[in-house]
């Protein structure tokens, strides 16, 4: 066990972590907590002396009296406790917690010890937030349970308990679908049980999915690296890091996702595609899962389709007045022609197309779509799901749809020359 006495060292030297404050040069466990509070400027000496006198009379720790009297808050007391013990102070309201680290121990143990891992420092070291730095047995237990060297930092007990509760809520918010929903959906519905005793890999998968949905991500990327796996979210078209999965959990995480998506866990050399249906906080979520063999293992991408989202209308697309008028004229002002919508992943192509379909969806028109996948079910529109295994490709489906007397056809993707040719000729 080591102590977070300064910014943790990285490949090129010390690395500053927002929310982690190293102790000053003057440290020592023999210093009284009241003196440290005074040195940090949280109050004056007269208040400290009164608190010390009251603590003696009540048989309580001075720090607790200072908090009860409103002299300092729990974070200030934690800062003083860290300073007294020569440890770094960790502000969990600022620090970006790594969910991969936090899920290495179960919630019951974290609550019992007032301690939780919050980050990886290199390949073999965990940064652990604790409200009780003197509890060496708890820290040793965590080191043995995780197999990592532990580096201590002090955080307030309130913040630690709030973090544990937040992670538990994320895990428990992911639940199985009702049987009726499962029968209607073609997706594999996986049972996600609420349990504080779930294995770390199961809790980690639940937490990542719930966190991604809560933050409005469109995709989750699991990317293997040399010593671990990086998890990234695509939010508003931009991919950013979310968490890190330690090396020993990577095979289990990939297998867990494959089982959820009804994929072959033994097949690691070929790409696979699957689907998962679940709910997060009561919201129906579909996940499209794609695995891809890469140099360092298997990459997994989850596309999040939130069936509870309200589909945008033309007014909600954020177009300028001129662009909006031009788009409306294109889709409403002609009985023939083609509109091509292009853009990078997450840029709103499907949202734009669905908004256009909504404007066209009137009783005097027949609308058909061919998609892979059908992201949202639209009332009054005939939607076709591509199924290459059954011979239903974009080209084959589009060829059949042209003969079905449609007024409007929406093609989800133009993947080949044949599809493009049929689409343009039909227009």
* Residue 109's CATH number: 3.30.300.160
Residue range of the domain that includes 245? 196-306
Please check whether residues 156 and 209 belong to one and the same domain: no
Euclidean distance between CA atoms 378 and 117, whole angstroms: 45
Q: What is the CATH number of the domain that holds 401?
A: 3.40.50.300
Q: How many of the other CB atoms lie within 10 Å of CB of 92?
A: 22
The pLDDT, as a whole number, for residue 310 is 61
Distances (CA, A) of 374 to 143, 195, 364: 47, 33, 24
Euclidean distance between CA atoms 413 and 427, whole angstroms: 16
Residue 421 covered by a domain: yes
Euclidean distance between CA atoms 140 and 154, whole angstroms: 16
3-state secondary structure of 318: coil
ω into residue 373 within 30 of 0, thus cis?
yes
Euclidean distance between CA atoms 61 and 10, whole angstroms: 38
Which distant-in-sequence residues (6+ apart) come within 8 Å of 174 by Cβ? 192, 206, 209, 210, 278, 279, 280
What length does the chain have? 427
Euclidean distance between CA atoms 211 and 161, whole angstroms: 18
The pLDDT, as a whole number, for residue 10 is 42
Residue 178 covered by a domain: no
pLDDT tens, N- to C-terminus, the chain (427 residues): 666 554 444 433 334 678 898 887 665 556 788 888 888 888 888 888 888 888 788 888 888 888 888 888 888 889 988 988 889 999 998 998 988 888 888 888 899 999 999 999 888 899 999 999 888 889 999 999 888 999 999 999 999 998 888 887 776 666 545 444 444 444 444 433 333 234 678 888 988 998 899 888 999 999 999 888 999 999 988 899 998 888 888 888 999 999 888 899 888 899 999 888 888 877 888 899 999 999 989 999 999 987 766 667 888 888 888 988 888 888 888 778 888 888 887 778 888 888 889 888 999 999 999 988 787 888 899 999 988 888 899 899 899 998 888 999 999 888 888 888 888 888 7
Residue 341 covered by a domain: yes
Q: 179-218 burial string, b = 16+ CB within 10 Å, else e? A: eebeeebebbbbebeeeeebebbbbbbbbbbbbbbeeebb
Answer yes or no: are the C-beta atoms of 129 and 123 closer than 8 Å. Answer: no
Beta bridge partners of 126: 120, 150
Pairing of strands 115-120, 125-130: antiparallel
Number of domains in the chain: 3
pTM, two decimals, is 0.61
Domain boundary among 275, 306, 337: 306
Domain boundary among 282, 306, 330: 306
Domain boundary among 143, 161, 179: 161
The pLDDT, as a whole number, for residue 350 is 84
The pLDDT, as a whole number, for residue 409 is 92
Please check whether residues 73 and 152 belong to one and the same domain: yes
Please check whether residues 139 and 260 belong to one and the same domain: no
Euclidean distance between CA atoms 131 and 116, whole angstroms: 9
Please check whether residues 330 and 296 belong to one and the same domain: no
The pLDDT, as a whole number, for residue 325 is 87
Q: Greatest CA span in the chain, whole angstroms?
A: 91
Task: List % helix, strand, coil for the chain (3-state, nearest 5).
Answer: 40, 25, 40
């Amino acid at each position: 066990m080591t102590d977070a006495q300064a910014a943790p060292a990285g490949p090129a030297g010390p690395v500053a972590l927002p929310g982690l404050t190293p102790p000053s040069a003057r440290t020592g466990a023999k210093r009284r907590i009241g003196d440290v509070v005074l040195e940090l400027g949280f109050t004056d000496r007269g208040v400290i002396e009164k608190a010390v006198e009251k603590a003696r009379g009540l048989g309580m720790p001075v720090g607790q009296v200072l908090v009860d009297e409103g002299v300092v808050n729990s974070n200030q007391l934690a800062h003083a406790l860290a300073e007294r013990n020569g440890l770094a102070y960790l502000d969990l309201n600022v620090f970006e917690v790594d969910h991969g680290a936090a899920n290495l121990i179960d919630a019951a143990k974290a609550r019992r010890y007032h301690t939780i891992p919050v980050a990886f420092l290199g390949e073999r070291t965990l940064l652990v937030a604790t409200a009780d730095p003197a509890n060496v047995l708890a820290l040793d237990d965590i080191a043995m349970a995780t197999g990592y060297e532990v580096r201590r930092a002090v955080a307030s007990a309130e913040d630690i308990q709030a973090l544990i509760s937040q992670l538990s809520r994320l895990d428990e918010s992911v639940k199985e679908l009702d049987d009726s929903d499962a029968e209607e959906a073609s997706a594999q519905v996986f049972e996600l049980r609420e349990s504080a005793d779930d294995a770390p890999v199961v809790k980690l998968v639940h937490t990542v999915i719930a966190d991604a949905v809560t933050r409005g991500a469109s995709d989750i990327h699991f990317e293997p690296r040399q010593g671990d796996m990086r998890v990234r979210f695509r939010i508003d078209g931009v991919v950013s890091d979310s968490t890190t999965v330690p090396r020993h959990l990577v095979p289990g995480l990939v297998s867990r996702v494959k089982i959820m998506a009804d994929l072959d866990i033994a097949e690691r050399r070929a790409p696979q595609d699957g689907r998962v249906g679940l709910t997060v906080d009561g919201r129906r979520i579909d996940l499209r899962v794609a695995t891809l063999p890469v140099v360092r293992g298997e990459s997994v991408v989850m596309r999040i389709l939130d069936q509870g989202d309200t589909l945008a209308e033309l007014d909600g697309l954020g177009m300028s007045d001129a662009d909006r008028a031009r788009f409306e004229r294109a889709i409403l002002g002609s009985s023939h022609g083609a509109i091509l919508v292009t853009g990078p992943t997450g840029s709103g192509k499907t949202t734009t197309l669905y908004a256009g379909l909504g404007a066209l969806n009137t009783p005097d028109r027949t609308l058909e779509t061919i998609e892979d996948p059908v992201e949202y079910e639209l009332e009054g529109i005939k939607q076709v799901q591509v199924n290459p295994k059954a011979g239903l490709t974009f080209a084959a489906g589009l060829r059949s749809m042209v003969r079905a007397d449609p007024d409007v056809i929406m093609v989800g993707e133009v993947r080949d020359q044949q599809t493009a040719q049929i689409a343009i000729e039909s227009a």
